[in-house]
Structure 1
C-alpha cells in the first residue's frame, strides 16, 4: 500500500513539475530572467527550494525562502511570506528547480497580500540549460525588507506612472491574430533581440530592439514611436515578460492610447500561427508630426487575458530597428495541489 502511495506521489510530481499559469503572474524564459537581473528589474529574487538544493548552487543575488511552497507545514521547515514584509507591492521573481514549486509559492505570497509585479522564473534546470551558471554564496536580504514601510527600488518594470489611468490588456494569440486581420492596431511592436527577430517575427511588426531595457544603452526608444502616443499599440516578445516592461517604458513616456500585451512568439506559434522573415514596418502613426491613428477600432478593450486587439494593415516597409522584450514561456496549468504536505513531499523528488 505504501509503495502504491509513493508511486502515485511520484507520478503527480512528474506531471506537475512545470510552472502553472496564474492570473497576475508572468512566466519568464531564462533569457528574460537573466536580462531582468542585469538591468535591475527585481526588488527580490526568491529561491524556494530546499537547503541542500541551495547549497548545491543558486542564482546570484537570490534569497533562500526555505521550502516556501510547502508553507504552512508541520512536516518540514518552511519560510513564510511574512519574511518578506515590506516587499508586498514590489517586483518579485520566484524560482525553484523547474517552476512548479515557484507557482505554489507565488500563490502563497498572493494569498498573503503580495500584489506587486510577480514573475515565475521557472527553475535552475531551465537556467542551466540556457547556459547560465549557478553560484555558492550567501542568501541576500532584499532591500525592500530593510525599512518598516518597505521601498521598491527596482528600475523596471514596476515604476510605470499612473497605472490606473493607462490600462494594458493581455491578449491571447487568437485575439491578436484577429486584430491583425481586422486592421485594429496602429503599431505591432516586437521588442526582442536582433537574432530573435531574424529567426522569425509576426507579420507587419516593427522591431523595437530591446525596448524593455531602454535606458541601458543600445536599445530602441519610446521616442522612435513619436506620433503614436494616443494610438492602438500591441507589444510582444517571446513570452510576454519583456513586452510588459516595454509597455511600462512607453507609458512612462506618455503613451496613453489603447495598449495591449500580445504575449510572445511562443504562444503565437503554439497556437499554430506562422512567423515571417520580412522587413520591419514603419507604423503610419509615425509619419506625421502630430500622428494619425488609423486603426479600425471595432471593439473596446477588456480586462486581463482575453482583450481585443486592434492592428494596422497598411504599413510601409522600412529597416526601422526598435526594441527587445522580456517574456514569459509556455506552460501548462496544473496547480490544484490542495495540501502543503503533498507539495513538501513532491519537492523531495522532482519539482
Structure 2
C-alpha cells in the first residue's frame, strides 16, 4: 500500500480512542453496521443517509437535520476516500476531526443522528487502492457524459472516485433516502444519474448551500484560509450574485454573464496584489452549464432548462468552489 494511504489508514484505524456521545452508535466494521441496519428493517423504521468525509460543519448538520425530518433514523459515513484524490492532492493533509464531528452531531440533540460508520480503507477497497489510477485494481463506477466537464477538467478522475465510493455506501447503508448539499452541484448531478442508472432504491435530496453570514459557502477546506484570505474569498459569492442579477434583469447570453463574473474575480486579484499579500487569487474557471445535463452553454440560455453558474477559484493554496442554480429543478 502507498505510504500516504498507510498514514490515512492509521488515522482511521479505530474509534476506541474516541468518546462516543450517548445515543449515537459508532461502527468500524461494515458487518456490525449492517447488523444494526437490519434491526431497523425488522422494526419497520426508515433510514436517511448523509455521506461525508468528516471535518463536519453546519452544512453537514443541516443535511442531518433535513434527513431526520423525513426519516426515523439518520446514519452518516465518515470516510476520506482515496479514490477521489490524485497523487498531487491533499489526501494526507485533509482534516480528520472525528471527535469534534461526533460532538457536533451530539449537539443536534439525542435522537437526531443515530449511527456513524467509520470504515477502514482496506475494507472499502478489498483489492487495494492506489492513487495512480493506472495501477488500480478492482471495481469502479463511472458516470459518463457528466463527469469530465467543470471539476472533471481539473480533476479528471475525481468523479470516478466519488461515484465508486457512494455506490459502495448506498449498497452498505441501504437507506430509503440520501441527502447531499448543493455546494457540490456537479457531484449531485453525477450521483443523481448514478442512482437512476443503477436502479438504487433510494430517493435523493439536494439541499441548499449553507453559507456564513458573510456569504462564503461553508466548506471543510475553509479552515485553511487566513482571515485576509477569507475576506477576499467573498468574491466568489459576490460574483455569482452579480451574474444572477444580470440574468434576472434579462441578460440570457451565457458568454456575457461569464465575462461579467470573471471581471469581478480579476478585479479582486488586483486588490490582493495592491495590498502586498504574499499569496494570490487565481481563477480556475467560471462556467455556465445546462440545468439539464451540465453541457456548457455559450450563447442563449434555454428557458426550459435553466442553468448552473459555477466557479472554482484558488485563494492562496486553497481551491474553493461555489455555484448558483437558476431556474433549475433539483431533487428536493
Q: Assess same fold via TM > 0.5.
A: no
TM range (shorter): under 0.3
More helix per residue: 2
How high is the TM-score relative to the length of structure 2?
Answer: 0.25
**Which has the bigger relative contact order, CA under 8 A and spacing at least 6?**
1
